Structure 1
Amino acid sequence: MALRHFGTAAAVALTVGLGASPALAVTEIQWWHAMTGANNDVIVKLANDFNASQTDYKVVPTYKGNYADTMNAGIAAFRAGNAPHIMQVFEVGTATMMAATGAVKPVYKLMAETGEKFDPKAYLPAITGYYSTSKGEMLSFPFNSSSTVMWVNLDELKKANVAIPKTWPEVFDAAKKLHDNGHPTCGFSNSWVTWVNLEQLSAWHNVPLSTKANGLDGFDTVLEFNGPVQVKHLEKLVELQKDKTYDYAGRTNTGEGRFTSGECPLYLTSSAFFGNVKAQAKFNFTAVPMPYYPDVKGAPQNSIIGGASLWIMGGKSAEEYKGVAKFLTFLSDTDRQVYIHKSSGYLPITKAAYAKAKAEGFYKDQPYLETPLLELTNKEPTENSRGLRLGNMVQLRDVWSEE
């Protein structure tokens, strides 16, 4: 009897042990990102919601610094053999990632190999075109797409009896009045100085930044941004800087608090600034399309996207890739995309999510969240406004910013 009892107990213990082991074998998916503030909260919630939705995989988000820092950290980690599974890379890093043969797993291949349902036509073409081959094969997964908009402090404009400006000459006039009526340190400013004042400016006015459709049609490009529009614009900023009607606010987005604090009533930066504006601004605000020069034929054209996409790094196991693919499917869910759009200000990446947000009347109360979508689709893109795909773009921006 004692032997039989021992045998039964052992069998039960073995069964319990075997039953428990799969629950312990959770596959971790490392996700490196560059989001801070309100947008970091969105990242954490997405990871937590995915982890709660199933028991096989655990997405672990890790902040790795700004966009350039995150990309550099990921490339260094790949060389050292410990790259994350998912890396958030800003849009101007696309050419660099495309050239990193073996370092990345193209999304279209990942989804096909794992058997996940995936239709590239379900996504907004103005966004996916940037991250796809000429055949329409998606190389990375669009995640947080944005465009440049002009944020407006409505209360301060009302005080100064200034209408919301639409053109650059109107911005200059409005900024002068604001400067003379309570804003001596900043009539208007911007973040992402080269993105706003060279890259978007060129696309919005349908003039080239470089040859070969700004790099989308080939890597052997020649920079061409010393045109009349760009030169006139930069000269005007230099002139207005002298009395701080315009005041430079840094290379990246570190100066965005100048808008939410009320210091700069007009401020050009990403539409994804919405989360912080909503949380921090103590005044009525809106976001309107980028200004344009009315004497430039055909302006405004269409804007180009900013933000980032998710690149899947190479060298991972089949099981890890299966978890990554399921996470991308999770992110593509229509309701989830609407949530990301509403909470962060980033654009919905699927047609269905945009349609649902519109059908719900979302833009009636917050029309400024549709502004970047209307800019991106303002006109059929030309070779000057399809986007940018220049190698070493991080270094190029540094040189441009220095100049």
Structure 2
Amino acid sequence: MFSENGSMQPTERWLKWGVSVLAAGVLAVSGLGAATAQNAKKSNAKPAAKAAAKKPASTAKKAAAGAAGAAAAGAAAAHSGPIELQVWHTLNPQQAAEFDTLVQRFNEQQHGFTVKVTGKPSAEALIEDGIAAVRAKRAPHLVELPDNRSPEFIARQGAILPMYELLAKYPIKDLRWFLPQTTSTMRDAKGRLLALPWMADIPIYLYNRDLYRRAGLNPDAPPRTWREMQAHLIALLQNGVSCPYATSWQTWVHVENLSAMHNTAYATRNNGLDGSNGAQLLANDLLHVRHLALMMSWVRSHLFPVRSDRDQADASFASGECAVLTSGSSALSLVQSKANFSYGVAPLPYYEEEATHPSTPFVGGSAFWALGGHSTAEQKALATFIAYLASPVVASEWHQKTGFLPLTEAAYRASDVSFYKNIPGAEAVVRAMANPPAKFTRGFRLNNYDRVSEIIDSELNAVWNGVKPPKQGLDDAVARSSAVMSAKR
């Protein structure tokens, strides 16, 4: 987390699957000496520097102790003057522009307080600003944190105000509509909402309908299975498409959700939901080995030339370079703003020899977490703002402009018919998420998963580059992950 000179270093995948540098730099220094810095994927995603070096233990203890004192002093300070809620995020430019529009509309309604949004350009800038804010007793009220697959761990930290506690004091009418499937990753074992899943994301199949037509493919019939997809990619390649297929978030799509789409266990102990201690990955089973072997054959055949562990491949699709993309539904924010072609979406493919029908994917993405230490008046104001975000009209607009899942059933019903009509397949994908989750699609809870996902990414890259065969890559990923998951946090 820290370099040898004590400066904080950003991590590469902090926006999707870890407590992130924000949690380490803002939360840990806000009295969270027990929190371990983690990095992230998805949720949803800006580039940051690669792996970070650890800070010496003695320095870390001093930083935590000093920050804890600063946080305690900040919490004790009584609020005075007009209330201005501070909301920090790391949204991409398209998502940030939409969020700014919604906040401006809220401020114009004159609720007796204002909301100030701060978008951070990098992990390092966010951390430095967070440390300064805590020391100046001006900690933010709401911050975006990624899904680290251990939300209970985050919620136990002293600077966090769990969402269910805030909303128990100041109820909002739309709370009963929070979709369980959308919010499951941000609930504890008792089903209590820990954070607002404002950036809930699922992996999807996006395809260029114009290129499909040019290749003689039916644009209204995207592939249901990976085998059918191979035939589509071959047709695209034979008709002059140099990049038939690209993927973002390779571990999320090709490892984690391969299990989910077939309703098979991703890890022991019920995917860690029965207790993450002792849980082991099952990502080297026959399903995963066969899938990775097929993907590697696509790489060699030039069907699958673009692969990324973050969201880089999204741009290759939005530009029209690649005909097919697997990525998060949040990629639609970029695609809607950049693509000058007709496109559609579909669920991830599956193997019909492995399942009679496809299941639903794991929900990922980041969420808004409330921070404690603020006055009662500020907490009440924060609940008012959250109620606004959860209102059907606002949540529906956010869903349509960004591709994130609708926060509530009411938000889904409020979505314009024209939105789904203009993006063929989008409504079916969203509607499927309203179904009750299957046995192994409710999510997973695994220790130190941010580090695990980095290990899997590195092993996938070794396979793509021909350094290791698929089985060895997956066996090594599981073996290396086992040691990491059993380590103390």
- With normalisation by structure 2, the TM-score equals 0.71
Q: Is the 8 A contact 2:152 2:188 kept in 1?
A: no
Matched residue SS, 1:187? strand
In structure 1, the residue matched to 2:481 is: none
Q: Which runs of 5+ in 2 are unaligned?
A: 1-79, 460-489
Which residue of structure 2 lines up, in the alignment, with residue 144 of structure 1?
199
Look up the match of 2:452.
Answer: 396
**Whole-Å separation in 2 of the counterparts to 1:78 and 1:105:** 18
C-alpha displacement of 1:370: 1.7
Q: Determine if the alignment matches structure 1 residue 49 to structure 2 residue 112.
A: no
Contact map agreement 1:213 1:386 (CA 8 A) in 2? no
Distance 1:337 1:223, change over 3 A: same
Q: How does 1:10-25 map to 2 (within 5 A)?
A: 25=81
* Structure of greater relative contact order (alpha carbons < 8 Å, 6+ residues apart): 1
Counterpart-to-counterpart distance in 1, 2:144 and 2:364: 13
Instruction: Provide structure 1 residue ranges, at least 5 long, that are not aligned to the other structure.
Output: 1-23
Matches for 1:288-299 after TM superposition, within 5 Å: 288-299=346-357
Counterpart for residue 271 of structure 1: 329
C-alpha distance in 2, partners of 1:349/1:210? 28
Task: State the one-letter code of the partner of 1:230.
Answer: H
Q: What is the rounded CA distance, in whole Å, between the counterparts of 1:179 and 1:65 in structure 2?
A: 37
**Contact 1:32 1:70 survives alignment (8 Å):** no
Cα contact 1:214–1:383 (8 A) shared by 2: no
Q: Identity over aligned residues, as a percent?
A: 29
How far did 1:355 drift?
2.2
Instruction: Report the aligned-residue RMSD.
Output: 2.6
In the alignment, structure 1 residue 130 sits paired with structure 2 residue 185: yes
CA distance, structure 2, for counterparts of residue 334 and residue 295 of structure 1:
40
The 2-side partners of 1:244 and 1:206 are apart by: 30
Give, in whole Å, the separation in 1 of the partners of 2:307 and 2:134.
35
Contact map agreement 1:149 1:371 (CA 8 A) in 2: no
Partner residue of 1:3?
none
Aligned to 1:121: 176
Runs of 4+ in 1 over 6 A off after TM superposition: 68-81
Aligned to 1:170: 228
Matched, 1:204 2:261: yes
Q: Secondary structure at the match of 2:322?
A: coil
How much has 1:299 moved relative to structure 2?
Answer: 3.6
CA contact (8 A) 1:341 1:348 kept: yes
Could you say which residue in structure 1 is the equivalent of 2:86?
Answer: 30
- Match for residue 63 of structure 1? 119
2:364 — aligned with what? 306
Counterpart in the other structure of 1:261: 319
Name the counterpart of 2:209.
154
Whose Rg is larger? 1
TM-score normalised according to structure 1 size: 0.85
How far did residue 264 of structure 1 move? 1.0
Secondary structure of 2:265 counterpart: coil
* CA distances 1:275-316 after superposition (whole Å, capped 9, x unpaired): 221221111111111111110123411122122221112222
The Cα shift of 1:214 comes to 2.1
Counterpart in 2 of 1:195? 252
Residues 208-261 of structure 1: CA deviation (Å, up to 9, x unaligned): 111233233322121111111111111222222123211233211022111011
Q: For residues 78 and 94 of structure 1, do their structure 2 counterparts lie closer, same or farther at Cα, with a shift above 3 Å needed?
A: farther
Q: How far apart, CA to CA, are the structure 1 residues paired with 2:322 and 2:256?
A: 22
**CA displacement, residues 66-89 of structure 1 (integer Å, 9 cap, x when unaligned):** 7x8799779978986764211112
Aligned to 1:242: 300
Change in CA separation of 1:76 and 1:97 when aligned onto 2, cut-off 3 Å: farther
Q: Displacement of 1:188 after TM fit?
A: 0.5
User: Quick one: distance in 2 between partners of 1:218 and 1:393?
Assistant: 14
Corresponding position of 2:151: 95
Structure 1's 267 and 77: CA in aligned 2 closer, same or farther, altered over 3 A?
farther
User: 2:148 is paired with a residue of what secondary structure?
Assistant: helix
